[in-house]
Structure 1
Amino acid sequence: MKNDTQIEIQELEEELQHLSDNSAEYIDARNRLSRLLFRTRPRQAVSLCEQSIEIAKSIDYLPGLATAYGVLSHSQISLSQYAEAREAANKAIQLFVHLDDPEGLLDANNALGISYNTSGEYEKALELFLRNEELARAQGDTEMQGKSLNNVACILLDQGNYSGALEYYIRTFECTRELKQPEMKGTALLNIGVTHLELENLEEALSYLTRSMEYISHVPEIKARALQNLSHYFQKVGDHEQSLLYGEQCLTGYQVINNTHGIIGALSNLGEIHLEQEHLDKAEIYFEQALKICAQKKEKTEQARNHLLLGRVYIRKQQADKAIQTLQKVFALKKNYKTCTYEAHQELSRLFEHKGDYKSALFHHREYVRIKDRLFNQQSEQQIQSLRISFELEQAEREARLLKQKNEELAQNNKKLEQLTRHQKALDTQKSRLVAQLENYAHKDSLTDLFNRRYLDQNFQIELDQALSNDSPLCVMICDIDDFKQVNDRYSHKIGDAVLVEVSRIIAAHIREYDILSRYGGEEFVLLMPGTEETDAIHISQRLNELIEHHDWDTIQPGMKITISIGLCCDTSVSNHEKMLACADQYLYQAKHQGKNQLCYCRQGKGFEQTERKGPGEKQF
C-alpha cells in the first residue's frame, strides 16, 4: 500500500503531463515534486531542479527560479555535494531577499547553514541556525523553528556538548508535537536517542531509537541512519549478531538511495564490528571496499579513517610491514584529519618499538603526543566557542524582546516598569551564572573533573617563577596508564572511562590541597608539587604507583589490573616550565621503555635512576 507521500508524488507526475512546459504552473509543480524526492531519490531531484532552473530563466519566473535553487541545495546535500549545495543556497537567498519572501528565505538559510556545518565552519552554521529559529518563531513557522533547533543540536553534538545537544533536541521534539509530520517527529526522537547513546544512557537510547522507527520507516535516508545507530547500540552492549544485522540493513538502505557518505560509514562500521570479533579477513574486505569508494568520491576524511582501521587489521594479523605501509597513507591526507593522524602515529610508534627501531618509535611517539595535545586544546576551544556563541545569541534574543516590551509598556503604569526591571535583574543573574559555567568549563576536564591542560599551562610558569624567586623547591610528575588502549579494546570505552575516573580519584585523595593535578590528555596526568623536596616527591610518586597497582579494580571489571608509569623532574634550573615538563616526559618514556609500572627520575647531581618494579610484571588486564 502506498503512503501519502508516494500518492502525492504520483499525482504530481500525472499533473505535469497535462501542463505546458513553459509555464509558471509547470515549474511550481516540478519544484513540489523535487522537494518530495530529494531525500529518497536525490539524483532525480537534482535533475528536475536543474531543468526547472533553465525553464524559469527562459520565462523570467523569479519565484520558481528561487525555489528551484533552494530545493537543488537540499538535494545536493543528500548526495554529499556540499560545495555545490552552498552555491545553490546562496543564489536562492539572493532571489528570496529580492522577492521579499520570508518563508523561502528561511528554507534557503537552513540549507546554507547545513553546508557550513558539513565543511567545518561551525560558528557560521550555529549563528545562522539560531537566527533562523528567531525569525521562524516571530513568523509562527513552527516547522522551520523545529528544523533550526534540530540543526543547532547537531552542531553541539558533533562538538561533544551532549547536554546542550539534548536540550535542543528536546525543544525540537516539542515543536513537532504541533505538526502533522511524522518524519520530523521521528527525526527528533532519533536524534534524542543518538545523544543518549553518546552519553552511555543505553536504555534511554534504545527506547528512543525504537520509537523513531515508527515514524520514519518510509524515509530511506533517515531509516538507514536509525538502523546505523541501532547497530551502534547493540555493538556497545556486546550483541554482535544484532549489531551486524542492523549494520547490513543500514548499508542496504544507503545503497538503495546511492548515499555515498552513508555507504562509506556503513562499510566502516561493519568492518569495525568484525574487527572487534577478530574476524580479520571480513574486516579487511569491508575497509578495502570503503577505501575504494573514498578514492572515487574524494572523501578524504573517511579515507584517512579507513586507512587507520585497515592498518589495525594488519597489526592484528601480525603483518607489520603491511600495517606500516597502510598507516603511513594517513599522513598523505594532511588537512583536517588530526584524530586519525595522531592515532596512526601511536600505532606506528608501537610497531617500530616492537621491531626494535627505537629511533622511529620515539619520533612517532613524539608526533602522537604533539598532535593529540593540539587536538585536545582545539576541541576545548571549539566547545567553549560554541557555548559562547549560543549564549550571546540567546542573550541578544532576550534583549531584543525586552526592548520591544519596554516600548510597548512606556505608556503603561509604573508597576509594569518595575516588573520589567525585575526581569532584567533575573537575566543578569542568569548571565553571570552562565559566564561562571563557561569559565569552569574552560579549566576543568569534563570526565574526571580535574584541571585540564589549559589550566596547567596557565599556572605552571607562575609556580616556577615563584619557586625561583623564593629559592624553594618545585617538582612535576607525569604519569601514564600502562596499556590503556588494551583496556578500551578488550572491555569497552565505558570501562576505560571508569578507569580514568578512578585513577584520578586515587591520586587526588593522596595529595595536598594546593598541589595542582591535571588531566594532561587521554590517559596521561600531570601533578605539580610546589614546595616539595626531591626526596619527598620521589616518595609520593612511589606511593601513588603502589596505590594504583594494589587497588581493587574488580569493582570496575573482574580480573582487571591497572598500573602506571611515572616520570619525575625536580630540576628548576631549566629556563621555563615547558622544558621542565619535557624533562619529566622524557623520564616517563624511559619508564615505559624499561618495562612500565615504575618511576624514572634524575636525582640532582647523581644522574638517571629508576625504581624497582613492584609486581611480577604480569600483563595488566
Structure 2
Amino acid sequence: MVADTPASFLEPPPAPAEVAQVEAWVREAWENRLASRTYSQELSQKALDLARSTGYLQGEGYALRNLGFCQYQASNFTEALPLLSEGLQIAQVLNDAGLERDCLNYIGAIYAGLGELERALEYVERTYRLNQRIGDQSGIAASLNNIGIVYKQMGREEDSVRAKLEGIELARALQDQPREAFILCNLASSYIPLGRLQEAVQVSYQALELCQALNLKDLEAKVRVNLAEALAQQGDHAKALTLLDWVLEHAQNTGLKEPLIHYWINVATLHASQGSHTQALPALQQALLETQALGAKDLELQVHQRLWETHKALGNFERALQHHEAYHQLETTVRAESVERRLKVFGITRDLEKARAEAEIERLKNVELARALEALHQANLEKSALVQALEEQVIRDPLTRLYNRRHLEATLAREYAQAQHSQQPLAVAIVDVDNFKHVNDRFSHLIGDLVLQKVAEIMSQNARESDFLARYGGEEFVLVLPQSNLETARPVCEQLRLAVAAYDWSTIHPELQVTISLGLAADPHLPNHEKLLDSADARLYEAKHSGKNCLRY
C-alpha cells in the first residue's frame, strides 16, 4: 500500500478466502520446490493468476519468487531474472523484508551463474545489508557464505576465506550446525587453491563430523571430495581413495551425477600423481561420459584437458590431439553461449531498469495527483472541474481537442454492441483531408496543424449533437452516427464536406484551399465494429481515387 494514496482511491481488498487460497498454494509450492520443481511451478502459477485477478499484491510477489526460484534451479536464468525482479519490486512497494531478501539473494545467484560477478556481488551484499537491517543473524551468516562464494569466483580467494570464516563464527554462535557444515565445506574449497592444505584438511574433518551427525549425505559427498583432494596433494593416497569410495557408493545409490563426476576426476588424479597414467585413463573416460550425460560443460572442459595430458604422457599423440581439439571446440561453444546469455541478460536488465524508471515516474505522477485530489477533496474547491479536466486530457486529442483514437475504439465498440442488441442502425464515416502532405510540404507543418484544427472545428459545428467525432490519426478523422443508416447519414456527411470546401481558407494562408474526402459504411451484418471501420476505409479509398472532395458509400 502506498502511504500517500488517499483511502478513497484504493482498490477494494481481496476476499479473505482468496487470500487464504493464494497463501496455501504459495506455501505448498515453496515446501515442494526441491522435491518436485514441476509441481511447485504449477501451484505457483495458479497462485500468481489468482493473486493478480484479485489484486492481492503480496501473494503475487511470493508466487513470482517461487516461479523465479524454479527457473533458477533449472538454470533458466534469463527466464528467472524478470520474475525475481518483479517480485523484488513488489517487496519494496510493500516493505516486505523477507520477500525482498529472497529475491535479492536469487538474483545474485543468477548473475553469479552467468559470470556477471560484479552484479552478483552487488546483490549478495545488498542481501547482507538487508539482513543486518532487520537483525536476522542466520541470514547474515548465509549472506557471508554467499559473498565468499562470489569472491572465490572472482579469484579473490583471501577475501573469500575471510567472509566464510566470519560466517562460520556466526553460525557457531547461533548453534546453526547445518549452516556451519555448509560454510566449512565451502571454506575448504577456498583453502585448497591457496595451498593451505592442512587447514583444508582440518575444516573438512569438522564438516564431515557435522554431516554425519546431522545425516547430511549430499553435503558429505562434497566434503569428502574436498578432503580427498587435499589429502592426495599431501601424499596420503590411501585415505583419499577410501574417502572417494564412499562418494562412489553414495552417487550410485542416489543417482546424483555431479559427485560421480568428481569421484572419477579425483581417482584419475590419484593415479596420475603416482605416475600410473594407464590407470588414470579409464577413470577420465568414465568422467567424460558422465559430464556429457549431465551437460556439465565446465567439468567436460576439465576432463578433455586431463585426457589430452594423459594421452600425451602415454605417447598417444593422435588421441591427445583429438582431446585437444575437442577442448578448444567446446571452449569456443561455452564462450559463445556465455556471450549470448550475457547479451540476453543485458537486454532483460535494460528493460527492467527502463520499466522501473517508468514505474517510478508514474508513481510520482500518481502520488502528486492523489495529493492534489485529496487537497481538493478536503477544501471542497473546484473538485468536479479538476477531475473532469483530468478525464478530458485522457480522452482528447491535444491538437484538435476532438476525442482521441483510444476513446474512439471504446465508444465505437460500445455503440456497435448496443446497435446489434437493439437492432438499430449504425453508420461510420472516415474523413481524410485531401492532399495534406502537400499542405505540409508547401506551406509548413505549422499551417498543417492550423488546417487540422480548423477542419475539426468545422466538422464539430456541422455534425449532429448525437454524432461522435474523433481524430483517427494524422489527417484522418472518424464520425460515428448512431441510429443512422446510409440514407440518414449521407446528408450529414455531405454537409461536412461542403462546409469544409466553402470555408475561406485564405484567412490561414492566401494560397490555401482545403477539401475532404469521406468513406461511409452502415452494413448491419458485419461481424464487429472493426469490420465496419474497414468497410468505411474501403469506401474512403474509392473517394480518394475518384477525384477527391467527394463522398463514397
Tell me the TM-score normalized by structure 1. 0.51
C-alpha distance in 1, partners of 2:206/2:235?
A: 22
> Are 1:130 and 2:89 matched, yes or no?
no
Paired residue type of 2:310:
L
What is the alpha-carbon root mean square deviation over aligned residues?
3.2
Would you say the 8 A contact 1:193–1:209 is kept in 2? yes
Cα separation, 2, equivalents of 1:249 and 1:69: 39
From 90, 96, 100, the equivalent of 1:145 is 100
**2: CA distance, partners of 1:280 / 1:184:** 38
**What aligned pairs does 1:347-358 form with structure 2 within 5 A after superposition?**
347-358=306-317
User: Which runs of structure 2 are paired with 1:122-271 in the superposition (5 Å)?
Assistant: 122-217=77-172, 218-271=175-228
1:72 Cα shift?
A: 4.5
Task: Classify 1:295/1:384 alpha carbon distance in 2 versus 1 (closer, same or farther; 3 Å).
Answer: farther
| 3-state DSSP of counterpart to 2:134 | coil
Cα distance in 1 for residues equivalent to 2:194 and 2:314: 36
8 Å CA contact 1:348–1:361 kept in 2: the answer is: yes
> Structure 1, unaligned stretches of length 5 or more?
1-60, 414-621
| Paired position in structure 2 for 1:5 | none
Is residue 272–residue 280 contact of structure 2 (8 Å, CA) maintained in 1? Answer: yes
**Structure 2 equivalent of residue 614 of structure 1:** none
- 1:85 deviates by 4.5
Alignment CA distance shift 1:72-1:246 (3 Å)? farther
Provide the C-alpha distance between the structure 2 equivalents of 1:72 and 1:219, rounded to a whole number of angstroms: 25
1:397 to 353, 356, 372: 356
Structure 1: distance between partners of 2:350 and 2:241: 45
* Partner residue in 2 for 1:596: none
TM-fit CA distance, 1:246 = 1.4
Indicate which of 336, 339, 346 corresponds to 1:380.
339
Return 397-406 or 84-93, whichever deviates more: 84-93
Aligned partner of 1:325 among 282, 285, 290: 282
* Per-residue Cα deviation, 1:353-395 (whole angstroms, up to 9, x for no partner): 3333332222222212211221222223333433432332122
* Distance (whole Å) between structure 2 residues aligned to residue 274 and residue 208 of structure 1: 24
Report 1:458-469 matches (<5 A): none
8 Å CA contact retained: 2:78, 2:341: no
Q: After alignment, is 297-306 or 360-369 more displaced?
A: 297-306
Sort the Cα spacing of 1:66 and 1:163 in 2 relative to 1 into closer, same or farther, 3 A.
same
Q: In the superposition, relative to structure 1, how do residues 264 and 84 fare at CA in structure 2: closer, same or farther (>3 Å)?
A: farther
Letter in 2 for 1:361: A
How far off its partner does 1:262 sit?
2.2
Q: What is residue 309 of structure 1 aligned with on the other side?
A: 266
Aligned position for 2:325: 366
Cα offset, 1:153, TM superposition: 0.9
After superposition, what is the alpha-carbon deviation per residue over 1:442-500, rounded to whole angstroms, capped at 9, x for unaligned? xxxxxxxxxxxxxxxxxxxxxxxxxxxxxxxxxxxxxxxxxxxxxxxxxxxxxxxxxxx
Residues 29 and 41 of structure 2 are in contact (CA less than 8 Å); yes or no, is this contact kept in structure 1?
yes
**Counterpart Cα distance in 1 of 2:230 and 2:24:** 42
Residue of structure 1 in register with 2:62 after alignment: 107
Alignment of 1:440-589 (within 5 A): none
- Aligned-pair identity in percent equals 21
Give the greater-gyration-radius structure (CA): 2
User: Which amino acid counterpart does residue 312 of structure 1 have in structure 2?
Assistant: T
SS at match of 2:133: coil
Matches within 5 A, 1:4-83: 67=23, 69-77=25-33, 82-83=37-38
Q: Distance in 2 between matches of 1:318 and 1:88?
A: 55
Contact map agreement 1:304 1:337 (CA 8 A) in 2? no
Question: Alpha-carbon deviation of 1:101?
Answer: 4.4
Please give the per-residue CA displacement for 1:56-110, whole angstroms capped at 9, x wherever unaligned: xxxxx88667555544444445x67645554554455456557754434433432
The aligned amino acid for 1:188 is S
Letter in 1 for 2:103: S
Cα displacement (A) at 1:319:
3.0
Structure 2 letter corresponding to 1:338: K
What is the alpha-carbon distance in structure 2 between the residues aligned to residue 145 and residue 256 of structure 1?
A: 33
Kept in 1: contact 2:148–2:159 (CA 8 A): yes
Displacement, 1:325?
1.4
* Cα distance in 2 between the residues matched to 1:312 and 1:161: 31
Shift of the 384–250 alpha-carbon distance from structure 1 to 2, 3 Å rule, reads farther
Show the counterpart of 1:121: 76
Aligned to 1:283: 240
Structure 2 counterpart of 1:304, one-letter code: I
C-alpha spacing 1:177/1:354, structure 2 compared with 1 (3 Å): closer
1:107–1:222: structure 2 CA closer, same or farther, 3 Å change rule?
Answer: farther
Deviations 1:165-224 (A, max 9, x none): 111122222322331322222222332233233334445434432332354343333222
What SS does the corresponding residue of 2:252 show, helix, strand or coil?
A: helix
1:343 aligns with 2:298: no
> Are the structure 2 counterparts of residues 123 and 352 from structure 1 closer, same or farther at C-alpha, using a change threshold of 3 Å?
same
Q: Secondary structure at the match of 1:178?
A: helix
Task: Provide, for residues 107-159 of structure 1, a one-character-per-residue CA deviation record: whole Å limited to 9, x for no partner.
Answer: 34323322221221111122211111001111111221122111111111222
The 3 A distance-change label for structure 1 pair 404 and 74 is closer
SS at match of 2:235: coil
Counterpart Cα distance in 2 of 1:346 and 1:338: 12
Contact 1:66 1:92 in 2 (8 A): yes
TM-score, with length taken from structure 2: 0.57
1:228: how far off? 1.9
> In the superposition, relative to structure 1, how do residues 174 and 343 fare at CA in structure 2: closer, same or farther (>3 Å)?
closer
2-side partners of 1:91 and 1:252: how far apart?
43
Maintained 8 Å contact 1:80/1:259: no
Equivalent residue, structure 1, for 2:229: 272
Query: Structure 2: which 5+ runs fail to align?
Result: 1-16, 373-553
Name 2:424's counterpart in structure 1.
Answer: none
State the AA in 1 paired with 2:137. P
Q: Which amino acid letter does the alignment assign opposite residue 353 of structure 2?
A: E
